[in-house]
Structure 1
Amino acid sequence: MFELSHDHLDFRHLVRDFAAARIEPYVADWDRRAHFPTELVPAMGELGLFGLNAPEEFGGAGLEEGGFTYLCVAIEELGRVDQSVGITLSAGVGLGINPILTYGTTEQRERWLPDLVAGRRLAGFGLTEPDAGSDAAGTRTRAGLSQGRWTLNGSKAFITNSGTEITSVVTVTARTGRRPDGTPEISAILVPSDSPGLTVEPAYRKLGWHISDTHGLTFEDVEVPESNLLGQRGHGFKQFLKTLDDGRIAISALAVGCAQRMLEEATAYSKQRMAFGRPIGANQGISFQVADLAVMVESARLLTYKAAWLKDEHEAGRRGAGEVKQAAAIAKLHSTEAAMDATRIATQVFGGNGFMEEYPVARFYRDAKILEIGEGTSEVQRMLIARGLGLPA
């Protein structure tokens, strides 16, 4: 059965030490200024965080067993200190590197992966549009092929890692024609960040994830070579569904990091904060809430690492894709809703101080809501779980 190995646990301590030294002292200032710390990305690359799932030929770790679980450990530990940094890694690997690694040609991999795996560059994944979120099949961006070149027109919304000074490429889903049954043919195309006609819109003013880089993208007659098609033509929809399955486990790990930090903050505060001559943790009204946090963390972590283990087992040919898909949806639904509840409870434990930005719980409270939305909303997860149980679509 699944459990973290000694190597996984040693790796956890390595990432935790990195986060304590390189992120924790600066994160409140970065958040206040909505500053994306570009210099942190290559430092994460030097630690090997972007290459955990990549083969050695591209500078990756070349792990034969447990690679995805290592990634989830890293995301959890970064997310325990700051959710924005955690999503930078999660999106950088799951949405940036993995589509190219999984579906790319030899030439595409050799061109893009070494810099991405080393953390010298970042890549984005352009799926969501202003009118196509959960309904990803409603993509309106189009790509026409003529004389060996794709011409893209349209727009994307809420794209992570798409506008940094080290962003090199964005994988874009676009309509490339129609199928015989009349439904749109959707393909994935690699668009270099310096392509003429590609406009990176101003950064969003977000409720949370202030440190994370998030932009809209506009494509006006953007031309790229025909060879920039990622995977098979017309298979873009199938490809990004597979990408999202993996991403849901990663977001679940990010949520575990959030809930874990709330447990730590609420526990420490309940021991230190005095009211009526004794620590507030002596009151059942507080102690029961902290106990609930412990239950949330343990259940979310177990579901997350079960899903990660199944993903690694699937990669080794020992488990089916359907089992991973169901476990990913269950983990994502439970963990993200637990994280949202955990931030609310921790803020309540802190009382008035919880409403003050000088305390981390306020930042985590703001950051948590997007966990229930990104990589498939909670409603989408319930739909997937129901389908996995055999209920009618």
Structure 2
Amino acid sequence: MVDKAAPHQNSAETPTLGVEEEFHLCDPHTGRPSLRNTDVAAAADALGLTVQLELSRCQIETSTSIGTHIRDLRDQLCESRAVTADAAARTGCQLLAVGTPFYDPPPDSITTTPRYQQMAEQFGALTTGVMCGCHVHVGVEDRERAVQVINHLRPWLPTLLALTANSPISAGVDTGYASWRHILFGRWPSSGPPPYFESANDYDAAVATMLETAVILDPHMVYWYVRISDHLPTIEIRISDVPATVEETMTFATLVHALVTTAMKAISRGESAPIVDQELLHAACWRAARDGLSGRGLDVNRKRLVPARHLIRQLLAHTASTLAELGELEQVTTSLASVLDHGNGAIVQRRTLACRGKVADVIDESARRTFEGCDPQADPIRNWRPRSRKSPPGITSARH
């Protein structure tokens, strides 16, 4: 595991990388949301892990340190999931890596911090939707370059969403969407794919307009699917549901890292990002949320529907040379093949519901997959050992 007190230094060739994961807390007997995130946070702290509270009291967030080595993440992600699951169990909760809860929380579920209470007062029922995502931070210190990297990432956002879709069931029924989280998230006035920006000044002007018009309370509420972090020298990719397994999170984070690195190379060569129409990009994201990996996606370059798997292969081809340089091409290729063969979170949830017929069975399977590969006794190959786990001053919660 990485020494969290001394994160790796950035380099021109390899940007830094860090990951945040949001999880749902449920009652292990009923499957209903458990509003005990403060208790779970206290239990995790006693176990040596600092976690963050989220907007709903049935949510908790973990974060890694920031490093340059992708493989350093695996032990941190495994340990964070394992320790947080342990903390949840000690407080009578169950930890689930799912994009939305299987049942809606009660009306009084907002975390009682001043900021979250202010959000509830300002935005009303929007704040009752529970959404658990995965946010990847990649180091880009120069803001002008960061804006150009965001432009290069825009066309790939729908494909990343399809890959990680993990929230088909809500209120006890199949919603018809692979990522119901994405649909809920889209209700916020500051969410969506970012516009194509010519400069950092253009980006800042758009944020200033949202602040002036009270669309957002503060810069933390810029909910674009990729944005410049307002407290770290990073860009933050926020399109993903929290993946069902650590392996899927690793694959997602590695692809994002490769996409950013590939974009930075293109910018150094003087290549401009393709200008994708904003409405077309919105439509592609909606289609990715609807079909996930099991149907079709919108190819924003050719403006036509194609099998979602085809878009995943395009993403792999686009990043292959960078992945090879990072030493990750074989691992990512193998992981993507496994996901395409066996399904991502949304596909597994639906398959479990179809085979077993009960949401309770889907919850049990989701809980198992949340911890899959994170138990050193069940998986001696990984063989990580708990250490001092106090979180570093690297990634702190990006806050809703």
TM-score, normalised by the number of residues in structure 1: 0.29
The structure with the greater share of residues assigned to helix is 1
TM-score, normalised by the number of residues in structure 2: 0.28
Work out which structure has the larger RCO, using CA pairs closer than 8 Å and 6 or more positions apart in sequence: 2
